[in-house]
Amino acid sequence: MNVVVTGLGCVTPVGADVESTWAALQAGTSGVRGIDRFDASAFDTRFAAQMPSLPPVERWDLEPWRQADLVDRKTHLLLVAAQQALAQSGIDARGPRVGVCIGSEGGRKLLERVAVRAAEHHGEPTLERAAGMLPPGELARSRPGHPARVLASLVGAEGPTRTVATACTSAGGAIAEALYLLRAGHVDAVLAGGTDTLVEAFMVSGFSLLGALSTRNDDPQGASRPFDRHRDGFVLGEGAGLLVLEREDHARARGANVLGRLLGAGLSNNAYRITDSPPDGTGPLVSMTAALRDAGIGPQDVGYINAHGTSTAMNDLSETRGIRRAFGPHADRLVVSSTKSMIGHLVAACGAVEAVVTLMSLRDGVVHPTLNLTTPDPDCDLDCVPGEARAVPGLSVAISNAFGFGGSNASLVLGRA
């Protein structure tokens, strides 16, 4: 069963849609700047990759949803990406043969309430008690599946609705789930992607306490530097991405324009530490080799890898070693770059946005640079495209990687239209 892409949408810190994001990435434009959405002056990290503004959602009347307090920032971003993808695809998403698979995280408001109550009363309130403090709309929005349910309701999709909440691999896992549903014949089309908004005081504070964030406050745009010797942590971001995936026979029958192909997916778990990637790259190795096997291709068929590339010491090293083990001698002929160097880490959304970017590379035969890669780490010895975008003539197959906090991994194999 061949699966094709007929619609793309995204909203990122460097662009309000796919084409503007793609142009900014090719130009090496950073979306990282000082945080202005809340007072971060007391935090060790005072910058992030923020949306300059929220593009409007015009496809649906959201007023009833807003009155019920059911459209938060995360859901809004997903709907922006969805309206773009649906307009490009031209698909009628109504009915039982269309599914929705979205990567999204939830529960942050509950945890924030617990933390606040504990600080105020020196107690240990439970999640159940915290949930009781939330208004109904806020309680609904705190659940990971909320954005997917809103999207499905607005478009009239009556097929399976899935939410994947596996941290940084959420969107990659959601796209893989969509692939499996399509191949099994359960649906003809799936709206698949992810959304997340990490530029919140609670999240910046939490990741700062973990020591995971860059503290390059005097140079925010130089802070995200994947595979660079002087990297000191990742940068939080926000955004959303969506792909309209269809069975090829269904897309052809309705005269749809095919933008690319989803050839295969591979999922794995590190079975290692919760906060670290395995130094030998085993988890990434398993997901990439599984994706190649699922796509029915060999390592030599891949020309580009859109790396997870977080700008953390262990993750970059683990991914490099995983790629070398998965691709053998062909690893020296691969072109690799990290989108996170410019838009930060979108966590639950990164797998979708980076899949969109990978499809744009396949369309144009161009790979965007890895920003801030000025002193390559000798242990991260792949061709990571420092400096400026690069033309890659004949590029036809690429991999998009997402490796998650907690140990989950997702690799997608994408092909040119």
pLDDT-based confidence at 136, cuts 50/70/90? low
Residues 246-262 have pLDDT tens digits of 999 999 999 999 999 99
- Residue 122: pLDDT over 70: no
Contact 415, 260 (CB under 8 A): yes
The reply to whether 308 belongs to the active site is yes
Short-list 233, 232, 224, CA closest to 342: 224
pLDDT-based confidence at 276, cuts 50/70/90? confident
Tell me the DSSP string of 155-192: HTB-S-EEEE--GGGHHHHHHHHHHHHHHTTS-SEEEE
Q: At what angle do helices 146-155 and 73-89 cross, to 10 degrees?
A: 40
Phi-psi region of 26 (alpha: psi -120 to 50; beta: other; left: phi over 0): alpha
Question: Residues 10, 101, 168, 350: which is the catalytic one?
Answer: 168
The domains found in the chain, sorted by start residue, are 3-106+143-416 (3.40.47.10)
- Residue 6: pLDDT over 70: yes
Residues 367-378 have pLDDT tens digits of 999 999 999 999
Report, as an integer, the average pLDDT of 195-209. Answer: 92
Report, as an integer, the average pLDDT of 317-332. Answer: 98
What is the torsion angle, in degrees rounded to the nearest 10, for the CA atoms of residue 153, residue 58, residue 247 and residue 245?
Answer: -100
- Residue 269: pLDDT over 60: yes
Residues 155-175 have pLDDT tens digits of 999 999 999 999 999 999 999
Question: Residues 101, 308, 380, 384: which is the catalytic one?
Answer: 308
Paired with 194 in beta bridges are 103, 241
Report, as an integer, the average pLDDT of 119-135. Answer: 57
H helix and E strand count, the chain: 14, 14
* Rounded Cα gap, residues 162 and 145, in angstroms: 8
Report, as an integer, the average pLDDT of 5-19. Answer: 98
Contact 238, 13 (CB under 8 A): yes
- Residue 94: pLDDT over 80: yes
Q: Within 13 A of 377's CA, how many CA atoms are on the CB side?
A: 23
What tokens does 125 get? 């309130």
- Residue 125: pLDDT over 90: no
The reply to whether 345 belongs to the active site is yes
pLDDT-based confidence at 391, cuts 50/70/90? very high
pLDDT of residue 128: 54
Question: Residues 76, 146, 250, 345: which is the catalytic one?
Answer: 345
The reply to whether 230 belongs to the active site is no
Of the listed ranges 72-81, 140-149, 152-161, 213-222, the one predicted with least confidence:
140-149
